[in-house]
């Protein structure tokens, strides 16, 4: 089997684009697309396991909600987006894959105001294993403390999975990797613990879970799934404000997200954690769930 090109614009396969499957290399937009200049774009990250896209409807619902929060309505229903995602998976002969639906405003008008721009939607899929190196995923990743903070909800549509909100994530992860870390832990505008650059965070102390209140960042679909799985095991989940000085009191830390799944953390800045039994158990529970070995949460 020939490995795919590392360049995402030069691959075999098909991408669903505004209602039809087209060859991968033909999925292009104009340089004066509104989204490129003014960040009027939203997206989803989702995974398929054994031919089934995990929590597909929740992802499609969130995509439409994100677009609405940015002021544009997608003409495709949740059911139509679901069907398109399944079509992409089958057209590319994938059973296990990462999927990226992305919606944006087009090039019909140029200027800060969107004018008569039309909404567009594309869906791509590719094979993607562990987000971090497998060894790091098992032994725990190392996080830097990000130089950028999550914005207040009155400064940006923080409930949307909007492309523009990821600019500070890119800067923070790039900064962390340049310093030898895997990723970065971000605080919010108040100085509270928020999330990593593309994943939610959980902590373990005295047999209970603690996670920041998602009032200025996404309440992730994987995050909610882990809360449900913890509930099945009778584990108390404390969703609350967490300040950085509290980090030294936690025994374990892990990240959750579609891309990272459940990834243990061995350190965040000066704070260190063990990869303990609760983290390993919830990681196993999540793997069993997405692969159909236990009923859906």
Q: Please determine, for residue 97, whether its predicted confidence score (pLDDT) is greater than 70.
A: yes
Start and end residues for every CATH 3.30.470.10 domain found in the chain = 14-126
Distance, CA of 164 to CA of 104 (rounded, Å): 12
Write the pLDDT tens digit of every residue in 27-77.
Answer: 999 999 999 999 999 999 999 999 999 999 999 999 999 999 999 999 999
Read off the pLDDT band of 297 (50, 70, 90). low
Read off the pLDDT band of 294 (50, 70, 90). confident
Question: Looking at the domain covering 134-290, what would its CATH class be?
Answer: alpha beta
List, in sequence order, every residue forming a beta bridge with 256; answer none if it has no partner: 200, 262
φ, ψ of residue 244 to 5 degrees: the values are: -55, -35
User: What are the residue ranges of helices labelled H in 92-178?
Assistant: 134-139, 167-178
Write the pLDDT tens digit of every residue in 9-41.
Answer: 999 999 999 999 999 999 999 999 999 999 999
φ, ψ of residue 46 to 5 degrees: the values are: -145, 160
Start and end residues for every CATH 3.20.10.10 domain found in the chain = 134-290
CATH of domain 14-126: 3.30.470.10
Catalytic center residues: 161
């Amino acid at each position: 089997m020939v490995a795919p090109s590392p360049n995402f614009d030069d691959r075999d396969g098909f991408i669903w684009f505004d209602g039809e499957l087209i060859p991968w290399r033909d999925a292009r937009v104009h340089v004066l697309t509104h989204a490129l200049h003014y960040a009027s774009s939203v997206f989803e990250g989702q995974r398929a396991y054994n031919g089934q896209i995990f929590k597909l409807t929740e992802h499609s619902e969130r995509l439409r909600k994100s677009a609405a929060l940015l002021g544009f309505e997608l003409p495709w229903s949740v059911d139509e987006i679901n069907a398109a995602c399944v079509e992409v998976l089958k057209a590319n002969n994938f059973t296990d894959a990462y999927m990226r639906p992305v919606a944006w405003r087009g090039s019909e008008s140029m200027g800060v105001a969107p004018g008569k721009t039309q909404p567009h939607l594309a869906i791509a899929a590719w094979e993607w294993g562990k987000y971090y190196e497998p060894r790091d995923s098992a032994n725990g990743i190392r996080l830097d403390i990000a130089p950028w903070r999550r914005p207040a909800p009155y400064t940006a549509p923080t409930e949307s999975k909007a492309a523009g909100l990821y600019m500070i994530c890119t800067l923070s992860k790039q900064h962390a990797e340049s310093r030898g870390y895997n990723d970065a832990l971000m605080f919010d505008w108040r100085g509270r613990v928020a999330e990593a650059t593309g994943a939610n965070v959980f902590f373990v102390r005295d047999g209970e879970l603690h996670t920041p209140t998602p009032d200025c960042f996404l309440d992730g679909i994987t995050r909610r799934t882990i809360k449900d799985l913890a509930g099945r095991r009778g584990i108390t989940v404390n969703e609350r404000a967490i300040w950085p000085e509290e980090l030294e009191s936690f025994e374990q830390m892990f990240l959750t997200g579609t891309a990272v799944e459940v990834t243990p953390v061995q350190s965040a800045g000066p704070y260190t954690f063990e990869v303990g039994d609760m983290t390993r158990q919830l990681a196993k529970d999540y793997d069993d769930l997405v692969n159909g070995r236990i009923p859906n949460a």
